[in-house]
Amino acid sequence: MVLSKAGACLAVALILATAGPGSAQSPPQSPPQSVPARPEQQAPPVAQAPPEQAPPPRRPTKRSPRTSKRQPPRPGQGTAEEARTSREAGPTRQELTLTANVLGGYDDNLTTGLGTGAGTAPTAMASGPTASLDGTLGYVRGNTLRSIRMDTTGTLTGYPGYLDHPVAGGVANVGARTTVGRNMTFRASERVGYEPFFNVFSPGASGAPLPPGIGEAVPATSLFERRSLSSNSSVSVDGRWSRRDSTSLSYSYNVQQFTNDDYGDSTSLNVATGYRRRLATGVRARADYGYTNLDYTDSDQVARPTRQHRIEGGAEIETALSRRRHLTFSLAAGAGYIESVSSTDRQPYHAWIPTGSGSATLALSPTSSVDGGYRRDFSLFQGVTDEVYTTDTAFLTTGGLVTARTDLRVGATYSNWKTPIASGVNDTLNVYGASLQVRVLFTDTLAATAGYYYYYQRYSNPGSLPAGFPAEYNRSTVRVGLTVRVPLVGTPTPPPTMQR
């Protein structure tokens, strides 16, 4: 699939997005600006007097009428997930908001040890100034029971020392949610995007999605100019069968096609299901199963199938440390099974590996938090070595409002990729990243932003890499700019960094 002009694709994306409302899940290419999601704050339980100290109940009289025996639950009893969905739809709201970001800065790219492998490879970016402009038009209409969303983003990215002209991109999202009765919630979404740059470590370019925070903490890791079209269709249903038991089921179908050739094109089908059992207040047991069916065109123009199964079990715990501080953490462990074909001898292989994950969120206040996580899984080094790797990935982010108008975010990531090339011999890749972001609010619609981003990668065996791909890559980026957020219809609630 080839596009003659990037601007034509951007126009198509904008037309598709404005045709109907939907759901926006992907932020623009500017640094992430939203506060990490936190579980609803839970108040501590109310202390009760011992039975022997409780006063005897009085017999109701005309002056003291009889009260109902149905008492409301104590504060802190159960969590937001454990509560039944309200039958009341509530008021319907409608919002249309325009957000624009203008950013400029400098990229300092240092490369050493270029790969010596044969084949066509992308070219590493050169150091120099950079600038970007993006605009997002977001629409939402709905209430607590059902809603529909639309979000469309157009981007222009320029590297004067690397590109002759700015490159255009665009993303459109459509999504809907509805509640059936008090126990079932259905969701559906569609995302269509045209990306001018290829990021080998982004969720869209990997056979398995990376942990939360990995793709967002270091947004300046797009190493190569390689344009592609992508789409992501998903549906899910969540059911609550009792006050203790709930289930989830989701299906997604992803497609990525490059406009210059077929190398790296992929389609993937993903099915995931989960079960949650409430054991006590704020404590749940979990069991999850996931299946991935991926077909990928490697550098030899050969379609390679990859099948993955993963089953895990663990626990989720939520606890209120105080009225303002809340701790949520989750642990899971299990096993993963993979079937694929080697890119070297074209022979099928299969393997089992232990998998697991852990995450924690500490809400320090309504506007600040600390988030951390770890994930062990499979990942395909798409567009580079074409091999499947065992990945260990960790991230840590923190931040919030330091003053009424200033928001500060700090993040760090680490990832280790490993794949066997011979008995007892592995190729390894280590990736480090860090970011620092500051946002200062001038008015309710205008804010200044500044950010520093660091990225470093090192591959153990340059001979396994295609020609031109750097085995060692060190990148620092500084960006400053302005953000404008204008409500066009309705009175949308500003994000935390835009509130007074």
Nearest to 250 by CA among 265, 262, 263, 239: 239
- Residue 329 is predicted with a pLDDT of 93
Domain-located, residue 50 = no
Give the angle subtended at the CA of 286 by the CAs of 329 and 202, to the nearest 5°.
Answer: 65
Q: Which amino acid makes up residue 215?
A: G
Lookup: tokens for 367 = 């506007």
**Host domain of residue 263:** 6-25+91-498
Instruction: Give the model's pLDDT for residue 259.
Output: 85
Question: In tens digits, what is the pLDDT along the chain, a chain of 500 residues?
Answer: 333 343 444 343 333 333 343 333 333 333 333 333 333 333 333 333 333 444 444 444 444 444 444 444 443 334 444 445 556 778 889 999 999 999 999 988 777 776 766 554 455 567 888 899 999 999 999 998 999 999 999 999 888 877 788 889 999 999 999 999 888 999 999 999 998 876 666 544 444 444 444 454 455 555 567 788 999 999 999 999 999 999 999 999 999 888 877 677 889 999 999 999 999 999 999 999 999 999 988 767 778 888 999 999 999 999 999 888 999 999 999 999 999 887 767 788 888 999 999 999 999 988 899 999 999 988 877 767 778 889 999 999 999 999 999 999 999 989 899 988 877 888 999 988 899 999 999 999 999 999 999 888 899 988 888 777 778 888 888 999 999 999 998 865 555 444 43
Rounded to 5 degrees, φ, ψ at 11 are: -65, -40
- Give the Cβ contact number of residue 423 at 10 Å: 5
Q: What is the rounded distance in angstroms from the CA atom of residue 187 to the CA atom of residue 201?
A: 27
| Rounded Cα distance, 194 and 476, in Å | 25
Which pLDDT does position 62 carry in this prediction? 46
Q: CA separation (Å) from 280 to 34, 78, 239, 319?
A: 32, 8, 19, 11
CA 75/CA 449 separation, integer angstroms: 40
64 domain residue, yes or no? no
Distance between CA atoms of 313 and 271, rounded to whole angstroms? 17
Distance CA 352, CA 336 (A): 6
Decide if 153 contacts 133 (C-beta within 8 A). no
Q: Decide if 57 is inside a domain.
A: no
Q: Establish if 46 belongs to a structural domain.
A: no
Strand partners, 152: 137, 172
8 Å CB contact between 301 and 263: yes
How far apart are alpha carbons 101 and 10 in whole angstroms?
Answer: 17
- What pLDDT is recorded for position 262? 65
Q: What is the pLDDT of residue 337?
A: 95
Can you list the alpha helix ranges (DSSP code H) found in 256-330? none
Identify whether 142 is part of a domain. Answer: yes
**In-domain check, residue 307:** yes
Q: Is residue 47 part of a domain?
A: no
Q: List pLDDT tens digits, range 169-218.
A: 999 999 999 999 888 999 999 999 998 876 666 544 444 444 444 454 45
CA distance 343 to 274: 33
Asked whether residue 43 is domain-assigned, the answer is no
CA torsion angle 11 15 21 26 (round to 10) = -20
Number of domains composing the chain: 1
3-state helix, strand, coil in the chain (%, to 5): 5, 60, 35
Looking up residue 163, the CATH number of its domain turns out to be 2.40.160
Counts of helices then strands in the chain (DSSP H, E): 2, 18
